[in-house]
Amino acid sequence: MHIVTGGAGFIGSGFVHQLNRMGIEDILIVDNLGSMEKWKNLVNLRYSDYLHKDNFLSRLSRGDFAGVESIIHMGACSSTTEKDADYLMSNNFHYSMKLALFCLKNKVRFIYASSAATYGDGSQGFVDDHRQMDNLKPLNMYGYSKQLFDLWIKKQGLLSGVAGLKFFNVFGPNEYHKEDMQSVVRKAYFQIRETGRVRLFKSYHPEYGHGEQKRDFVYLKDCLEVMAWLLERKDINGIYNLGAGQARTWNELAKAVFQAMHVRPDIEYVDMPVELRGKYQYYTCAPMDKLGNAGCPVKFHSLEDGVRDYVQNYLNREDPYLG
């Protein structure tokens, strides 16, 4: 059995789809569906059971699950604007610790989601070298909760037994429930459809023009391929960047959406909310040498190709979900 926490969420449900493509259906999905729309991510998927995240942890500690081959831990609060620090400590840090200890004790493959938010403003670089992890200073509590778990893994001497992934700006199908945390690709698609125009934040940094802030945008399907490779390669461990390896501007991203929709570009620059201005990353780029040197065979989509596939094969469809 394979267990996917956050299995109804964006990357988690995507990985359940990836497992289905690999012929695997003995999957336990762990999540907190609540009253959100993310249950729709499950409709096209094949899996054996679902458990609420609180029930799962208590049953795991009782030893209720036998024959567990892997825990793919994508479950976390991923909101970069979440202000409840105690919740993030409990949900993102302590919960992850318990899962990691279970996997190591029972020789179960453990793959978990870290985040590029751990790099903060990028002044310390974006190199996924565990020797430099202690110097990173995240800009928000979400990033700090992920950083704490990475550091715990390191201090416990567990880097050789687990695989962590520092996801950069992931976009793609099954993010539809994420509200304000949806990718700009999806937001831009609906802005263009409704108004013919895309709204981007103005720059408040003298080195960057409006819309010229740069991020490493990576397509969901590429992330899923990397995760599938890591699932099969239990000898590959450590913490790795997972981005496309290129920094592209928000303007380029918006123009890729316009192009995929066959609409002439029209971009409006709007004020950034005051509360975000001191916590905003103006540049991210994932050096991908470490993953490449480990032998990862995945060929990443270009930004334009990833956006085109997402827009034309998912956002344009009546049923836009993976499966």
The residue assigned the tokens 């005051």 is: 274
189 part of the active site:
no
47 part of the active site:
no
Which tokens hold the place of 323?
A: 């499966």
Per-residue three-class SS string for the chain: CEEEECCCCHHHHHHHHHHHHCCCCCEEEEECCCCCHHHHHHCCCCCCEEEEHHHHHHHHHHCCCCCCCEEEECCCCCCCCCCCHHHHHHHHHHHHHHHHHHHHHHCCEEEEEEEHHHHCCCCCCCCCCHHHHHHCCCCCHHHHHHHHHHHHHHHCCCCCCCEEEEECEEECCCCCCCHHHCCHHHHHHHHHHHHCCEEEECCCCCCCCCCCCEECEEEHHHHHHHHHHHHHCCCCCEEEEECCCCCEEHHHHHHHHHHHHCCCCCEEEECCCHHHHCCCCCECCCCCHHHHHCCCCCCCCCHHHHHHHHHHHHHCCCCCCCC
Instruction: Indicate which residue of 40, 53, 154, 178 is catalytic.
Output: 178
The length of the chain, given as a count of residues: 323
For the chain, the C-alpha Rg in angstroms (whole number) is 19
Instruction: Indicate which residue of 142, 144, 189, 321 is catalytic.
Output: 142
Catalytic residues: 142, 178
